[in-house]
Structure 1
Amino acid sequence: MVERDSSGLVELRRGVLVLAVLSRLQVPQYGYSLKQALAEGGMPVEEGTLYPLLRRLEAQGLLASEWDEDYAPPRRYYRLSREGKRAFAALSAAWRDQVRVMDGFLREETK
């Protein structure tokens, strides 16, 4: 039996986190609202994982951000850039292809 915290599950989760984040940023969100949206969707993520990922995605040009000073403390809102929208579409298609492949493998295993 595989433990929930085995390295294989950690690696699988790490691999899909970028796609999950991009999917939730179809509408602009600040960090905490994004963290909540991911958790509500079944993918809780620690702040120590999420915020460095957001900075990395922004550095790669996939996200844009802006500060909203109307809140105390101010909130940094993230949104997909044009390149981020293209990356999301490409990753979504690749994900669906991989799901089809893996479904085939897993069906073979149950025979």
Structure 2
Amino acid sequence: MASLAALREPGYGYALLQTLSQAGIAVDANTLYPLLRRLEEQGLLTAEWDTTASRPRKIYRTGPEGERVLAAMLADLDALRTSVNRLTEGTAS
């Protein structure tokens, strides 16, 4: 979910690691890169090679299906947050 949200703006793997870290989400590169490949294979991310720099790098972006999935995940998270708030506030019935 965090990767899909962060990659609404195009970015490459190392920059995504930094973005997630700054947001308080610790992810190891050995976990992130396979995740990015899977998300791309599932059609949730689009990717293209940037060859303008001295070293080519793959630029990722959340695709239309990724936006749809992200919206559904955020709605589920919001519903879960509401339910937990009801429980902690003692208003669940």
| TM-score of the superposed pair, with normalisation by structure 1 | 0.76
Task: Say yes or no: does 1:101 pair with 2:83.
Answer: yes
> Greater helix share, 1 or 2?
1
Amino acid at match of 1:88: L
Secondary structure, aligned partner of 2:86: helix
TM alignment of 1:1-111, pairs within 5 A = 19-108=1-90
Between the aligned partners of 1:24 and 1:86, the Cα distance in structure 2 is 15
Between the aligned partners of 2:74 and 2:88, the Cα distance in structure 1 is 21
Distance apart, 1:105 and its partner CA: 2.5
Amino acid at match of 1:99: R
Between the aligned partners of 1:40 and 1:26, the Cα distance in structure 2 is 17
Of all paired residues, the percent bearing the same amino acid is 43
Question: After TM superposition, what 4+ stretches of structure 1 lie above 6 angstroms from structure 2?
Answer: none
Gaps of 5+ in 1: 1-18
Secondary structure, aligned partner of 2:58: strand
Name the count of aligned residue pairs: 90
Distance apart, 1:39 and its partner CA: 0.4
Between the aligned partners of 1:106 and 1:51, the Cα distance in structure 2 is 37
Between the aligned partners of 2:58 and 2:89, the Cα distance in structure 1 is 44
Gaps of 5+ in 2: none
Distance apart, 1:58 and its partner CA: 0.8
RMSD: 1.1
